Amino acid sequence: MKKKSASCRIIVLVMSVCFARTAFSQADPDTLAFDRYLQISRMIVQRALTDTAGYHLLRGLCRIGPRLVGSDNSMKAILWAKKTMENLGFDNVTLQPVQVPRWIRGDVESAEILRSPAMPGRELSVAALGGSIPTPAEGIEAEVVEVPGMDSIEMLADKIAGKIVFFNEPMDPGRTETFSAYGRAVAQRVRGPSEAAKAGAVGVIVRSVTTKYDNVPHVGTLIYADSLPRIPAAAIGLRDADALHETLKKNPRARVRLTLSCRNAPDTLSYNLFCEITGREKPEEVVVVGGHFDSWDKGHGAHDDGAGCLQALEVLSLLKRLAIQPRRTIRSVFFINEEFGLNGAVEYGRWAQSGREKHIAAVEADRGALTPRGFSVGSNPAVLEKMQSWLPFLSSALIEWIRKGGGGADIAQIKNVQAYIGYVPDVQRYFDFHHSDNDVFSAVHPREFELGAAAMTILAYLISEEGL
């Protein structure tokens, strides 16, 4: 039985290559298409790794600083990117106006365990969650109730009135898939403040949702329930989360003062930004490759998602450097405001539907710029299978697999696309950086960044040539 399995697998391996060749000779008058694609894909990888041009652009972007949506810095970065696209000579460089919310961190964010007869005081490393209301100028001062996770809040509800709730659920380290561990732990950050308010809490401190054990707070958005009072909320670094936990064990009545000067400001104008290489035969059929250009106001927003945007731009740049004009239009889109509500993606989606263009595929890069692993695809099975037949061309960019799965939050707003494609790199380190001062340019590796860009270039190019 085992022998049979093996022979069968070998036959299939051989057959897949044969079928792949057949597919190409059917789709392309040139029967050498398979070999040509192999050659082109290797050229793309080699060029990316040798020039590392996109990586160097990322350095320029990171020098501007982080790009919180609606901020002056964000506008500076958008204009830098527009100029960069123009300098690179791409077609149809477009700023697309988008109304966006604006939240301002302000100058003050601090927390301290107050000195008591039993305990010395202690500063805590905190940062306001995105969207949080401020505290009064003098802060809020209260006892603290530690809640080990969202599941426990109902049980502790009668202890919470008038207190600061300290959500302290760690990301589960035992899961290989860091995104899945993030997905679970992040509930306390997103919904925790309103859950706490429901039970009468006056403020919230949330254990940072991160894989890195240091003292850097990792921020991110909260969502206030409309029906409940809004209370101020901040993330706390892991060392201080553990220190607060220890303090509360020794002195359950320990008091904390939390002071945040953040505030919501009126909506403002921002922009999606895109450019393209117009298709040589089917210019009205579009393959989108994109990331979101806004970031949190911590670090440089390097992995999240400056890298994704500049990888998307590197897709066009690599084709241009190799003098390849694709059959269909390939467009690099920098969506604005993924972090605070997807306004840019919604606007792009609306615009895409209103025009004469047909969007056939969309690739999103928003999981960091570490070494490539695969692509996750939302499509019908035939399209998925067609893309899987291209794996031989993607292996030099270290793509191991193409699997059924989700594409990404931004591209999901474009309707009727045949394939929603998520670029999936290695993500073991991603949450070390995510939404924090750790997300700086030096955390991005040039080879890893460029292999990702090359993988997306090869995929976008093949879709453009072969259709789906």
For position 29 contacting a second copy by CB under 8 A, the verdict is no
For position 269 contacting a second copy by CB under 8 A, the verdict is no
For position 448 contacting a second copy by CB under 8 A, the verdict is yes
For position 451 contacting a second copy by CB under 8 A, the verdict is yes
Q: How far apart are CA 389 and CA 297, in angstroms?
A: 41
* Site size with a second copy, rule: CB under 8 A: 49
For position 5 contacting a second copy by CB under 8 A, the verdict is yes
Identify the residue among 22, 94, 96, 215 touching a second copy (CB under 8 A): 22
CB of 387 to a second copy, least distance (A): 11
For position 218 contacting a second copy by CB under 8 A, the verdict is no
Q: What are the phi and psi torsion angles at 107 (to 5°)? A: -90, -25
List residues bridging with 124 in a β-sheet.
111
Instruction: Tell me whether residue 27 or residue 155 sits nearer to a second copy (CB atom).
Output: 27
CB of 150 to a second copy, least distance (A): 21
Instruction: Tell me whether residue 35 or residue 385 sits nearer to a second copy (CB atom).
Output: 385
Instruction: Tell me whether residue 19 or residue 179 sits nearer to a second copy (CB atom).
Output: 19
Helices (H), 338-401: 343-354, 381-388, 391-394
List residues bridging with 404 in a β-sheet.
377
CB of 74 to a second copy, least distance (A): 30
For position 300 contacting a second copy by CB under 8 A, the verdict is no
Report how far apart, in Å, the C-alpha atoms of 234 and of each of 115, 129, 251, 290, 451 are: 21, 5, 22, 30, 36
What is the secondary structure of 234-273 as a DSSP string? EEE-HHHHHHHHHHHHH-TT-EEEEEE--EEEEEEEEEEE
For position 428 contacting a second copy by CB under 8 A, the verdict is yes
CB of 51 to a second copy, least distance (A): 9
Peptide bond into 91 cis (omega under 30): no
For position 267 contacting a second copy by CB under 8 A, the verdict is no
Which residue, 313, 320, 319, 288, is CA-closest to 414? Answer: 288
Q: Which stretch binds a second copy (CB under 8 A): 47-55, 113-121, 134-142, 402-410?
A: 47-55
Interacting residues with a second copy between 146 and 205 (CB under 8 A): 173-176, 178
Which residue, 457, 468, 371, is CA-closest to 420? Answer: 468
For position 8 contacting a second copy by CB under 8 A, the verdict is yes
CB of 35 to a second copy, least distance (A): 18
Residues whose CB falls within 8 Å of the CB of residue 394, separated by 6 or more in sequence, listed in order = 41, 402, 455, 458, 459
For position 445 contacting a second copy by CB under 8 A, the verdict is yes
List residues bridging with 111 in a β-sheet.
124, 258
Identify the residue among 47, 67, 105, 255 touching a second copy (CB under 8 A): 47
Full strand arrangement of the beta sheet holding 282-292? 91-104, 263-277, 328-335, 282-292, 358-364, 419-425, 372-378, 401-404
Which residue, 76, 468, 84, is CA-closest to 314? Answer: 84
CB of 370 to a second copy, least distance (A): 8
SS3 330: strand
For position 14 contacting a second copy by CB under 8 A, the verdict is no
For position 303 contacting a second copy by CB under 8 A, the verdict is no
Residue-level length of the chain: 468
**Type of residue numbered 11:** I
CB of 304 to a second copy, least distance (A): 18
User: Is the CB of residue 304 less than 8 Å from the CB of residue 439?
Assistant: yes
* Other Cβ atoms within 10 Å of 65 Cβ, number: 17
Q: Which stretch binds a second copy (CB under 8 A): 226-234, 266-274, 323-331, 385-393?
A: 385-393
For position 400 contacting a second copy by CB under 8 A, the verdict is yes
Instruction: Tell me whether residue 45 or residue 129 sits nearer to a second copy (CB atom).
Output: 45
Please identify which residue in the block is written with the tokens 């008091």: 255
Please identify which residue in the block is written with the tokens 């210019």: 283
User: Looking at the annotation, which residues are catalytic?
Assistant: 338
Which residues in this chain contact a second copy in the complex, by CB under 8 A?
1-6, 8-9, 12, 15-16, 19-20, 22-23, 26, 45-47, 49-50, 52, 173-176, 178, 211, 371, 373, 381-382, 385-386, 388-389, 396-398, 400-401, 426, 428-429, 432, 445, 447-448, 451
